[in-house]
Amino acid sequence: MSSSSYQEHFSRAASDPDGFWLEQARRIRWFRAPGQGHSPAAQGGIQWFADGELNTAWLALDAHVQAGRGEQSALIYDSPVTGTQQRLSYAELTGRVARFAGALAGLGVGRGDRVVIYMPMVPEAVIGMLACARLGAVHSVVFGGFAPHELAIRIDDARPKVVLSASCGIEVDRIIPYKPLLDAALAQAEHTPGATVVLQRSPARAGLQPGRDHDWTALEAASAPAEPVPVRGSDPLYILYTSGTTGKPKGVVRDNGGHAVAMHYSMEVVYGMQPGEVFWAASDVGWVVGHSYIVYAPLIYGCTTVLYEGKPVRTPDAGAFWRVISEHRVAGMFTAPTAFRAIRKEDPDGALMSQYDLSCLRRLFLAGERLDPPTYEWLKQRTGLPVLDHWWQTETGWAIACNPVGLEYFPEKPGSATRPTPGFQVEILDPDGAPCSTGQQGAVCVRQPLPPGCLLGIWEDPERFRSAYLERYPGYYLSGDGGYIDAEGDLFVMGRMDDVINVAGHRLSTGELEEIVASHPAVAECAVFGISDELKGQLPLGLVVLKDGCTQAAREVSTELIALVREKVGAVACFRQAVVVHRLPKTRSGKILRRTLRDLADGEPVAVPSTIDDPAILEEIRSSLAARSG
């Protein structure tokens, strides 16, 4: 890339998006180069490079082998929970992906078919994703911490031909058998996939149902490699479900062409990486960070990626991240602030950190939730490295705002994600749709067209896409976050303006949690909202009003509600507080005053809203909450 400045990229991407991105598109390898920039997508959003032809898996693997990188490590699997490590070169990973693609083709998977992947952090999860891409099939990875009910919802929405899974996952020292969870999900789902493929892991092997369940290793070994299938730039690569404001998750659809171009561009501009270097995103393949920066971007760009099956702490200690960085010579590392909060809590003085040679590490990247200034300061002080906050979402697939180190390194400001990334024309709008003034907080929006890599739409629901993102401010994409831009043009993202909460970097819908809590027979009404938590950023808290005449003890209902959410959503929801109250504060028109409740629970000063129907309720709730915390 030329040594163009940030401003030059930003201005060109804004004034001539098609010209700018077609030029970027020429920097990756296509089977047929695109001549078309952006156009409307059937799914409701914008598609890029619709007339181009490529194959994302070929681009991420075979192309590097052809270019002489076959012997370079493509993937380093580091698994403290099993005590194993494995390196797969580009040639080896290409071979395994081609063979597993052959296995999937043998099960009837072809272009456009969906495959659900419910797996722990093992190389086969990556192989499964890339094998789908090789066939032009559409994968939908479901985070392993979700319960059967969540998996079933996604199976019914995506209607996969095949589901890929493993016999178990390992949470620190706890074996989580996945197969019974998969079986339960398949029993709950209305859609029946034709087959499942199960990776048998030695800590807990699974029983396989003849005719439906296939053994991964045997199937892969018995299959012939499949050739990459050319797809259109605008064809879907994957669906990734994320929490919206209702109980039903949104299936974010990503394309092949725009995604590949954005991934390539971001490795250079956002992360300042060079091909051949080691990049590590300490996340999970079940989240967008895992899709973009464990799997696709590093491989498309020719880096080595690290797949880490462990935690920041307890596997075995708070030095784990530093060990991985040092041992694998990681140059760029990306994780969520909550991971460093966990490390800092256990190793505040960095004693474990100082045991490792971290001279390889150039930069730390943080996203997934707000990077709180104390965590930023600690990291900065301990590492002396650039600590770069960047802001993005499942929907965009890459950073909307970042410190674009590949172009220019702006002074770091704690609490700011720095500048809008070239391609994202970020504006702050007030409730009337007028631009906010400098420093004034409002809705963070992006002027259309969104750049390549962003969502095509919501799977089979263009209307939901329109109403969730486009309707509020015509001509803009509504991010759902609130924030402001300061006098120097730096963006500060302050938090969600809707019912989405962020628990340890995991996105959850309070609307969905409420639906589950409300389904309990003793519950008349409830409100679930996020409260501040020092480690996880936010935690969900439920306030519950019991039905008249309910004879069950409040404590018992509360315990049942906690168990119910764990059963339905999974442990990852971290729903551990359900407080029974007599009534909920509402506006005169009957709307629950969530903001007021959140401030109350956080111990913040509460301005009594003029619309409240009965201010005395607030005192009652305050004392119920005080009783909860003892």
| Partner whose footprint covers residue 391, from ligand AMP, ligand COA, none (CB < 5 to 8 Å by kind) | ligand AMP
Q: Which of 136, 312, 420, 585 binds ligand COA (CB under 6 A)?
A: 312
Task: CB nearer to ligand COA: give 243 or 596.
Answer: 243
Contact characters 141-160, ligand COA, x per CB under 6 A: ---xx---------------
Task: CB nearer to ligand COA: give 123 or 233.
Answer: 123
Q: Which residues pair with 145 in a beta bridge?
A: none
Rounded CA gap, 246 and 233, in Å? 31
Residue 482, CB-side half-sphere exposure with 13 Å CA sphere: 13
Three-state DSSP class for 189? coil
Sole window of 81-89, 334-342, 522-530, 595-603 interacting with ligand COA (rule: CB under 6 A): 334-342
Considering only residues 243 to 302 of the shown chain, the ones binding ligand AMP according to CB under 6 A are 288
Q: Which of 43, 338, 538, 596 binds ligand COA (CB under 6 A)?
A: 338
Write the CA distances from 590 to 375, 586, 594, 614, integer angstroms: 40, 5, 12, 11
565 binds ligand COA (CB under 6 A): no
Write the CA distances from 114 to 131, 237, 239, integer angstroms: 12, 10, 9
| Partner whose footprint covers residue 496, from ligand COA, ligand AMP, none (CB < 5 to 8 Å by kind) | ligand AMP
Rounded CA gap, 288 and 398, in Å? 9
270 binds ligand COA (CB under 6 A): no
Sole window of 78-86, 295-303, 351-359, 568-576 interacting with ligand COA (rule: CB under 6 A): 568-576
Q: Which of 287, 308, 469, 473 binds ligand COA (CB under 6 A)?
A: 287
Answer whether 326's CB lies under 8 Å from 358's CB.
yes
Structure tokens given for 355? 């045991």
Considering only residues 484 to 513 of the shown chain, the ones binding ligand COA according to CB under 6 A are 504-505
Please report the sign of the dihedral spanned by the C-alpha atoms of residue 243, residue 249, residue 250, residue 251. Answer: positive
Considering only residues 189 to 248 of the shown chain, the ones binding ligand AMP according to CB under 6 A are 242
Answer whether 276's CB lies under 8 Å from 95's CB.
no
480 binds ligand COA (CB under 6 A): no
61 binds ligand AMP (CB under 6 A): no
Q: In the bound complex, what is the minimum distance in angstroms from residue 481's beta carbon to ligand COA?
A: 16
Q: In the bound complex, what is the minimum distance in angstroms from residue 255's beta carbon to ligand COA?
A: 22
Q: What angle do CA 530, 469, 157 make, to 5 degrees?
A: 80
73 binds ligand COA (CB under 6 A): no
Answer whether 246's CB lies under 8 Å from 272's CB.
no
496 binds ligand AMP (CB under 6 A): yes
Answer whether 327's CB lies under 8 Å from 317's CB.
no
| Partner whose footprint covers residue 336, from ligand COA, ligand AMP, none (CB < 5 to 8 Å by kind) | ligand COA
Report DSSP letters for 272-301, one per residue.
---TTSEEEE-S-TTSHHHIIIIIIHHHHH
| Partner whose footprint covers residue 480, from ligand COA, ligand AMP, none (CB < 5 to 8 Å by kind) | ligand AMP
480 binds ligand AMP (CB under 6 A): yes
Rounded CA gap, 1 and 429, in Å? 34
| Partner whose footprint covers residue 165, from ligand COA, ligand AMP, none (CB < 5 to 8 Å by kind) | none
Query: Nearest to residue 464, comparing CAs of 150, 152, 170, 248?
Result: 248
370 binds ligand AMP (CB under 6 A): yes
Q: Which residues bind ligand COA (CB under 6 A)?
A: 144-145, 169, 171, 176, 283-284, 287, 289, 311-313, 336, 338-339, 342, 368, 504-505, 571-572, 574
